[in-house]
Amino acid sequence: MNPIFLIGYMGSGKSTVGRLLAKHLRLQFIDLDAWIENRYRKSIHDLFAEYGETGFREIEHKNLIEISEFQDVVVATGGGAACYHQNMEWMNAHGFTIYLSASVDMLVDRLKTGKSKRPLISQKSTAEMERFIRESLLQREPYYRQALLLIKSTSEAPEKLAEHIAEEILRFESRS
């Protein structure tokens, strides 16, 4: 099976749902950010600090291309991965893309506690973070909406959401 790529904004549940989805489908799970951190032996925050966003996006792109050659994997991409270097087109051509969509309120609520690990929002107040998320979602949405499947991330248990996505993938695969 070609790779399954989960895309969406940070905090939408890509890693949590991705792990569960991979388990449900009996596939390997890869978190692209963790993959990069292991390869470079630095945190995403440190890579942003060292290379800037442009340099980090180059690193992310190269690693995404490498991972897209794998079979039988579920890949949780970084929140911005779909929006740079024609990555969205690449993922659609080499795998199955799923957009986990979440409301701004849900994203703010989820991101408030762990924002120090997220370079784009680490120094922002809650109000600034909400404004930033709203504005960047407007810019990213056209890329995210190119996914083959759109799933609304809800407060539903991640296990139920993963099960629902697995059913949708199998339904889509049976039509192909």
Please report, in range form, the residues annotated as the binding site for Mg(2+). 15
Q: Which two tokens stand for residue 159?
A: 């296990």
Binding residues for substrate: 33, 57, 79, 140
Question: How far is residue 58's CA from residue 87's CA, in Å, rounded to a whole number?
Answer: 11
Return the biggest CA–CA distance within the chain: 46
Binding site for ATP, residues?
11-16, 118
CB 10 within 8 A of CB 79: yes
Given a contact cutoff of 8 angstroms between Cβ atoms, the answer to whether 33 and 44 are in contact is yes
Inter-residue contact 63 to 39 (CB < 8 Å): yes
Binding residue ranges: 11-16, 33, 57, 79, 118, 140
